[in-house]
Structure 1
């Protein structure tokens, strides 16, 4: 697991819980799920283990709370995009916000890669929430655009969602793009010109 190339942003709210999440995310990204103990998280935060357990019942609960936070960020992106009036503006807003939050998105992706280490039951709950919030939210944008006549009708909205995510992935994973905004504009132009009716 590689360390993100951009440092994790300091949470706006400097609470103990925010500090725990910041340090735990750093450790999980550096060492992977099994390479981190609650003792190490407590030491990194500067709290005792009992204080850490006061906030999180176990390592799995801490890890999943970070993924829930990342999912909450994706949900906010869908809300921002939904406030726009047409699909082009919605996708432009969504891509610009993803680029602006790329360091956090990279961390979220790296943490999601460790999801296989949590219990199957808890993993299933998170995966269901991810599909509903992120995949479902995007698909809903495409469904509504199709109803407004903004999209061709021979490709199902779920397929358009997967294609859109495939284009977005390089913007928030791996090495930061030298011109992310230019890349995003190009990707959106290619995507929408191929998806809009002729």
Structure 2
């Protein structure tokens, strides 16, 4: 998502601005006209791309859950048979940090607005998230075999909480740049897993 170098489509522009506005002011605090204005088209023009705000919200939250899962599967596939468990875990952490730093509005959106999704969309988000967690649990247990499955799952959820705290950084510019912030988050995540595995 954050690594794409080609120009975003109009649909992607709409989703990006919708995510930003929903995160800043809440789903009900943003009108279709405002989203349209943010991308330079009339509010009614948005209906050529989405039937309404609910569809935008669903695509944002289902989309990011699917993107995280797809990215993690790709990292595991590339590492299969050639990388040590430690390197695989590092790769998963790096991928999640990219999301946490580059798509912060989606973290806020998920926390605040997930319950607004239709039941079917919300269940799909939860299903994708469970699969994502289980990929991590497998890698963590390979690196720390003494961890039980429930303990590894708790550790993974705890690390997600740490990495997903980026929207609460009030002044991210005061940190040592993106690279420095990513390095700090990575060290903290590895430290958390090491602490869980040292029991």
In the alignment, the residues of structure 2 paired with residue 11 and residue 39 of structure 1 have an alpha-carbon distance, to the nearest angstrom, of 28
Q: Specify whether residues 31 and 79 from structure 1 end up closer, same or farther in structure 2 by C-alpha distance, changes over 3 A only.
A: same
Q: Specify whether residues 14 and 87 from structure 1 end up closer, same or farther in structure 2 by C-alpha distance, changes over 3 A only.
A: same
The match for 1:13 among 7, 23, 37 is 7
SS at match of 1:69: helix
Q: Specify whether residues 99 and 142 from structure 1 end up closer, same or farther in structure 2 by C-alpha distance, changes over 3 A only.
A: closer
In the alignment, the residues of structure 1 paired with residue 15 and residue 49 of structure 2 have an alpha-carbon distance, to the nearest angstrom, of 10
Q: Specify whether residues 95 and 154 from structure 1 end up closer, same or farther in structure 2 by C-alpha distance, changes over 3 A only.
A: closer
Q: Specify whether residues 193 and 53 from structure 1 end up closer, same or farther in structure 2 by C-alpha distance, changes over 3 A only.
A: same
1:171 and 2:170 equivalent? no
Runs of at least 4 residues off by over 4 Å: 8-11, 176-179
Q: Which residue of 2 aligns with 1:184?
A: 186
Structure 1 residue 159: Cα displacement: 3.0
Q: Which residue of 2 aligns with 1:104?
A: 102
Task: Map Cα deviations across residues 13-71 of structure 1 (whole Å, 9 max, x no partner).
Answer: 33210110111111111111111222221222222334311211221111111113322
The match for 1:151 among 144, 155, 165 is 144
SS at match of 1:56: coil
1:49 and 2:7 equivalent? no
Q: Specify whether residues 185 and 123 from structure 1 end up closer, same or farther in structure 2 by C-alpha distance, changes over 3 A only.
A: same
In the alignment, the residues of structure 2 paired with residue 195 and residue 111 of structure 1 have an alpha-carbon distance, to the nearest angstrom, of 32
Task: Map Cα deviations across residues 73-130 of structure 1 (whole Å, 9 max, x no partner).
Answer: 3124413541332321111112223333433342221110211122333322322222
Long gaps (5+) in structure 1: 1-7
Q: Which residue of 1 aligns with 2:18?
A: 24
Task: Map Cα deviations across residues 144-179 of structure 1 (whole Å, 9 max, x no partner).
Answer: x2xxxx4334511x4313313313432332215654
RMSD of equivalent CA atoms: 2.9
1:51-70 map, 5 Å:
51-70=45-64
Contact 2:33 2:44 in 1 (8 A): no
Q: Which residue of 2 aligns with 1:161?
A: 153
In the alignment, the residues of structure 2 paired with residue 108 and residue 44 of structure 1 have an alpha-carbon distance, to the nearest angstrom, of 17
More helix, by proportion: 2
In the alignment, the residues of structure 2 paired with residue 21 and residue 11 of structure 1 have an alpha-carbon distance, to the nearest angstrom, of 17
Q: Which residue of 2 aligns with 1:131?
A: 130
